[in-house]
Amino acid sequence: MAYMVDDEYEVLEDLDESNKVEIEEDDNDPHTHMLLSSSLNPFKTSFLPVLIINKKLKIIYANESCENMFSGFTFLNGKYFFDLFGKVFKIEDARKIRDMIINGGNVSSWKGSAQLKTRNSAAVDIRVYIFPLEMDLKASSDFVVMFDDFTEEHKKLLRSVFLSLLEASKLKDNDTGNHTIRVNEYSKRLSEELYKKHADTYKRIDEDFIENIGFLAAMHDVGKIGTPDDILNKKGPLSDWEWEVMREHTQNGAYILSTYPNPMAKEIALSHHEKWNGTGYPFQLEGEMIPLAARIVTIADVYDALRMERSYKPSLKHEMTKQKIIEQSGTLFDPNLIEVFKEISGDFAKIYDSYAG
C-alpha cells in the first residue's frame, strides 16, 4: 500500500473545528508541561522515533529520532496527528485509533504498518505502535506513538526472491551477460533526467519510480525462463511458429512478476516489446497506452541490444546505435522520450563502457 503524508489532509470528520479551539486552550495545561519532564526521559534517548499525543490527537512531544525520521516529510510539534498522518492509515484503522484515544474504545493499544511517501522522498515502510503513556488506561490522558522503520529489511527480503528468478533466467539465456545491469542503469538515468527537467510532464516519476525502475528494468526478460532452450539459443533466424513461442515470454514474465507488490514489474515484463505506433506485441498497444516504465525500458533494451555482439550480428558503436534509435522515434519509441535520450545519450555510452562484458 502507498499513502501520502499530506499537511492539507483534514482531521477526521468527527473532530470538528470546535475541538480544535479547545485543543489550543490546552496548550498551557500544566499536565502537558509535566509530561515533558520526568515521564518522558525514557523516550528522549530512544533510538526508536516516538511521538506523544494527547486525547485531542495533538502532538505534544516528538523525540529527536522522530524529528530526524520525518525531517524530509513534515514538521511535527504542535500539529494534529491526523492532519499529518491521516492518509497513512486505512480509514477503518484511523477510526479505531481515534476511538481508542478520544473515547476510551474497547482496546488499550493498536499496532499496524504503513508507508510514508512524498514525490521528493523515497517511500518509508514503518510499523506503528500506539499505547497509553501511563499503565492505567483510565488515568492516562496521553498516548505514545512509536515508529519502527523496516524499509531496508522489507526491501532486501522482497528483492532477494526476485533476484533469484533473474539469475535463473540468465542461465537460460547465455546472451545476457551484463545486459541486465546495463538496462537497469540506462533506465534509471533516463528516469532521473525526466524527473529533474520534465517533472511537470511526467508527474508519475518520483524518487521511488527511479529507484524501482533501477531494479525492475533487469526483470524485463524474466519470462524467458519458460522459453524452450532450442528456440532461445537457436543460431540463425526463427521460424514463424518459433517467433510466436518466443513472444510468449512477455506474458510469462508478467505472470511470474504478478506477485511483486509494485505493478511496475508486471508492466515492464508485459509491455517492453510494444511499439509507439501500435505494431508491437503482445497486445499492439499504442502511444501512451503503453506504461511509461515499459517505454523507458524499451529504449534501454534496444540500445544495449544494438551495442552487443551476438551470434547473428556484430556490435555497433555508440554513434551508429544512437542514430538508429533516433530514426525509430515515433514508430518504435516514444518521441518525447527520444528527445530526452538525445540529450543524455553520452551517459548511455559511459554506462555501456563501465559494464562491458
228-274 pLDDT, tens digit per residue, is 989 988 888 899 999 999 999 999 999 999 988 899 999 999 999 99
Provide the percentage of residues in the chain whose pLDDT is more than 90.
48
Residue 3 above 70 pLDDT?
Answer: no
Considering only CA atoms, which of 150, 140, 187, 224 is closest in space to residue 298?
187
pLDDT at 235: 80
Quick one: pLDDT at residue 331? 98
- Average per-residue pLDDT for the chain: 83
pLDDT value of residue 84: 86
Lowest mean pLDDT segment, chosen from 33-42, 119-128, 142-151, 192-201: 33-42
The pLDDT of residue 23 is above 80: no
Per-range mean pLDDT, top range of 37-51, 104-118, 152-166, 201-215 = 201-215
Instruction: Say how far apart CA 189 and CA 185 lie, in whole Å.
Output: 6
Grid-cell match 511517501, residue found: 117
Nearest to 333 by CA among 282, 296, 306, 293: 296
Give tens-digit pLDDT for 278-307: 999 999 999 999 999 999 999 999 999 999
- pLDDT class of 14 with cuts at 50, 70, 90: very low
Identify whether 291 is preceded by a cis peptide bond (ω within 30 of 0).
Answer: no
For the residues 74-98, what does the mean pLDDT come to?
A: 85
Ordered by start, the domain boundaries in the chain are 17-149, 153-354
Q: Are 140 and 134 in contact (CB under 8 A)?
A: yes
> What is the predicted pLDDT for the residue at 8?
32
pLDDT in tens, 198-216: 988 999 999 999 999 999 9
pLDDT of residue 248: 96
Report residue 242 as a C-alpha cell.
518459433
In sequence order, what DSSP letters do the residues of 22-46 get, joined into one string? HHHHGGG-HHHHHHTTGGGHHHHT-
Q: What is the pTM of this model?
A: 0.71
The grid coordinates listed for 224 are 524467458
User: In terms of CATH architecture, what is 153-354?
Assistant: Orthogonal Bundle (1.10)
For the segment 177-201, the average pLDDT, to the nearest whole number, is 94
Provide mean pLDDT across the span 56-85: 84
Question: Which is more confidently placed, 201 or 165?
Answer: 201
Q: How confident is the model at residue 177 (pLDDT cuts 50, 70, 90)?
A: low
> Which homologous superfamily is 17-149 in?
PAS domain (3.30.450.20)
Please report the pLDDT score of residue 173 as a whole number: 66
pLDDT of residue 297: 98
How far, in Å, are 47, 63, 74, 154, 266 from residue 68 at the CA level? 11, 9, 10, 21, 35
Q: What order of strands is seen across the sheet that includes strand 50-54? A: 59-62, 50-54, 142-149, 121-132, 110-118
User: Per-residue pLDDT for 104 more than 90?
Assistant: no
pLDDT of 108 above 90: no
Quick check: 169 and 222 in contact, CB under 8 A?
Answer: yes
For 77-82, the CB contacts below 8 A with 24+ separation are 79/7, 80/11, 80/15, 80/20, 80/23, 81/51, 81/53, 81/57, 81/145, 82/9, 82/11, 82/12, 82/15, 82/57
**Mean pLDDT computed over 72-78:** 72
Mean per-residue pLDDT for 142-169?
A: 82
Distance between CA 259 and CA 254 in Å, rounded?
Answer: 9
Residue 81 pLDDT greater than 80, yes or no = yes
Judged against a pLDDT cut of 80, whether residue 11 lies above it is answered with: no
Closest CA to 229 of 245, 216, 213: 245
- Report residue 25's pLDDT band, with 50, 70 and 90 as the boundaries: very low
Note the pLDDT of residue 16.
37
